[in-house]
Amino acid sequence: MRRVVFCFALAAVIFCGAFAPLHTVAQSSKQLSLYTDALKRYLIHNDTTTALKLVNQALAEDSTYMPALNLLSRLERDPQKAWRAAEAALAADTTNSHLQQQAAELSLRAQQYDRAKQLLTTLTKESQNLDHFRLLALLHNMSKDRKQAVAALDSAEVRFGKIDVFNHLRQQIYLDGGELDKALKCALDGVESAPYDPANHIALAEVYAASGVDSLADVSFNKAIALDKTNPAVWFEYARFLDNRSRHTEMLLVWRNIIDFEQVNLQTKLSIVESITSKRDFYRKNFLLIEPIVERMYQLYPDNARVVDSYISHLIAGNRVEEALVMLKGQIKGIKPSLEQLDRIIEIEYYINRTDSVEVYIDKGIELYPTHDSFWSLKSWLQTKRGDHKGAINTLKSALKYAENSVARSSLWGGIGDKYYEMGQMRKSYGAYNKALSLNFDNAVVLNNYAYHLSVMEQSLKEALRMAKKATELSPNNATYLDTLAWVYYKLGEYEQAKKVMQQAMSFDKEKSSELALHYGDILDALGSTFMAQTYWRKALERGAAAEVIEQRLEAQQLRLKEEKGGQK
């Protein structure tokens, strides 16, 4: 059963006889000629642009010309302008029911709800159109005037007899007002009048659910399902109820049934799968119940790319990576793989520690997408990992000729500078960094790395400070960059400033870095905060710092304290 939706702009569209018949006026004036031409352009040629231009010209001749105003209300796309035109047309003939209906429809679209109520109240006095009564009830309900809303429905039924749709709407109005007893009576009346209509049992279930009587809601939902097991709308309503009650086990079993309905389109089914797999905690807790849903989707739609992708993701989530890999490789057989497909294959091959295969697909990525620098970077990283620094440098240099702009070239030169630093070739490292910054001085990564390496080597510390400040300006909340800036201050002997910056770094450190804790301990030690320095060194140890590094600091601190004590004597 479709629930009542209080969407007035859309509801207005379904007015019976939405457009009023045109009233021609026996005139020989210029405005009549322009209006007639506009009407032809609109009705015969479907040329609304020219029609709108002509009807405005007609109104320029006579701003009160009703037929032109009426046509303008239909042509005008701006809801407010269309409504004003309809009101002006109605002002010329206030008793014309067609003009009243047009004005009522456009007042709804323009969200002029009070005016819409006035017009609909007038229309319902003589109207044979049930939609007028329904919309009037909806408007009263929106303004929380529920007595008037029910009165509008009652007056329609007095005139036309009992109307099931109105009974459901009346029930919803009572529910919105918290009048559960009256809502229940409506729902029970509906079931009594048409006991074999599933919609009536769902309506009753909704009242029980709103009243907190879930056991009776379940009974009503199950009766609705028993009456029409092939109706997906019934199952959807039950699934929503179960979801609202966090009865996820039952809800997932319902979704599994819905997947098999041919009447439910693929897009809806995909939305169901995405909704239950996108929330990580929910997916993890209900993995075994979700699995049949994802697998059934793949059985039904094995050729749909989104379904296959969803199934592959599910296999990976279930640690069935070998199966996922076979499917991914099957997807790209005989075709050019996408960047995303190559990335996923490389990720899985690396996860299962097949380094040779990783390199094969990285090389394939370089061959097919040479301007995509991530493949070059991955290859150089892999080469560095196995100790081939020269190979890594050559790879990044080869990528330079494919770089599409100075920003990309700057990034590559920064990587080259990092590799040279790892090899201990400082002159070449600094040269590469300088090239990177000459191409893009806003390269925060290079600024940070260059500054840090200079501070470690205790070289050009003022230049290092300038670069570290620039990096933190470009990325203010980056804990690593703040750590570099604090470390440069430390090397310059500006310990208080180093402490201040390092406190910021620690506050933004989501990774719980051992290096940051180690550096903070060093800064505190330099300031004479012996106990707090030891605290942070121990914290660094807990986070993975080498024990011998911590021992060296503690021994050096004890030696210094002993010397200071001896000096005081």
Lowest mean pLDDT, pick from 18-27, 257-266, 283-292, 389-398: 18-27
Q: Does residue 560 carry a pLDDT above 80?
A: yes
Q: Which domains does the chain carry?
A: 167-245 (1.25.40.10)
pLDDT, position 26 = 42
The answer to which of 152-166, 296-310, 424-438 has the lowest mean pLDDT is: 152-166
Note the helical H segments in 260-386: 266-277, 280-285, 287-300, 305-317, 321-331, 339-351, 355-368, 373-385
| Measured distance CA(506)–CA(415) in Å, rounded | 27
Amino acid at 120: L
Give me the sign of the Cα torsion angle 361, 366, 371, 376: positive
CA distance 391 to 244: 58
pTM of the shown model: 0.61
Q: Are the C-beta atoms of residues 508 and 514 closer than 8 Å to each other? A: no
DSSP string, 33-70: HHHHHHHHHHHTS--HHHHHHHHHHHHHH-TT-HHHHH
- Is the pLDDT at 11 greater than 60? The verdict is no
Q: With contact defined as beta carbons under 8 Å apart, do 180 and 174 qualify?
A: yes
* pLDDT band per the 50, 70, 90 thresholds, residue 133: confident
Residue with tokens 């560095």: 384
- Exposure class string for 190-204: b at 16+ Cβ within 10 A, else e: bbeeeeebbbbbbbb
Task: For 308-357, write each residue's pLDDT tens digit.
Answer: 889 998 998 898 989 988 888 888 888 898 898 899 899 888 888 888 89
229 touches 235 (CB < 8 A): no
Determine the Cα angle at 411 with ends 407 and 416, to 5°: 145
pLDDT in tens, 80-113: 999 999 999 999 888 888 898 899 899 989 999 9
Which pLDDT belongs to residue 268? 95
Read off the tokens for 152: 């509008």
HSE-up (13 A, CA, CB side) for residue 310 = 28
* pLDDT-wise least confident of 24-28, 29-33, 126-130, 277-281: 24-28
pLDDT in tens, 509-550: 898 999 999 999 999 999 999 999 899 999 999 999 999 999
Q: What is the pLDDT of residue 355?
A: 86
Phi, psi of 361 (to 5 degrees): -75, -25
Instruction: Report yes or no: 8 and 139 within 8 Å, Cβ to Cβ.
Output: yes
Q: How confident is the model at residue 421 (pLDDT cuts 50, 70, 90)?
A: very high
Instruction: Give pLDDT, residue 568.
Output: 59
Looking at residue 319, the DSSP 8-state letter turns out to be T
Say which residue the tokens 């109005």 belong to.
173
Which of 433, 450, 497, 508 shows the shortest CA–CA distance to 475? 508
Q: What is the mean pLDDT of residues 207-217?
A: 93
Q: What pLDDT band is residue 170 in, cutting at 50, 70 and 90?
A: confident
Question: Six-digit token pair at 477?
Answer: 């909340």
Percent of the chain's residues with pLDDT above 90: 57
Q: Is-contact 440 406, C-beta < 8 A?
A: yes
- 552 pLDDT band, cuts 50/70/90, is very high
Q: Which residue in 284, 232, 293 sits closest to 262, CA to CA?
A: 232
Half-sphere exposure of 376 (CA within 13 A, CB side): 23
Neighbours of 212 (CB within 10 A): 8
Tokens 């406190």 sit on residue = 503
Confidence class for position 10, pLDDT limits 50, 70, 90: very low
Q: Is the pLDDT of residue 392 over 90?
A: yes
What pLDDT digit, counting tens, does each position of 426-462 carry? 999 999 999 999 999 999 999 999 999 999 999 999 9
User: Tokens 């309503």 map to which residue?
Assistant: 237
DSSP one-letter code for 460: S
Q: What is the pLDDT of residue 399?
A: 93
Structure token pair of residue 121: 């109240």
- Please check the confidence at residue 290 and state whether its pLDDT lies above 90: yes
Q: What CA–CA distances, in Å, run from 419 to 332, 383, 480, 500?
A: 34, 11, 19, 32
pLDDT at 25: 43
Has residue 2 got a pLDDT over 90? Answer: no
Which pLDDT score, from 0 to 100, does residue 567 have? Answer: 63
Long-range CB contacts for residues 360-369, cutoff 8 Å, separation at least 24:
364/337, 365/339, 368/336, 368/337, 368/342, 369/339, 369/342
**Is the distance from CB of 132 to CB of 120 less than 8 angstroms?**
yes
State mean pLDDT over 280-290: 93
Can you give the pLDDT at residue 569?
Answer: 52
Helix %, strand %, coil % for the chain, to 5?
75, 0, 25
Of the two residues 263 and 13, the one the predictor is more confident about is 263
Banded pLDDT at 20 (limits 50, 70, 90): very low
Confidence of residue 22 (pLDDT cuts 50, 70, 90): very low
Q: Is the predicted pLDDT of residue 8 greater than 80, yes or no?
A: no
pLDDT at 194 over 80: yes
Q: What is the pLDDT of residues 268-279, one digit of tens each?
A: 999 999 999 999
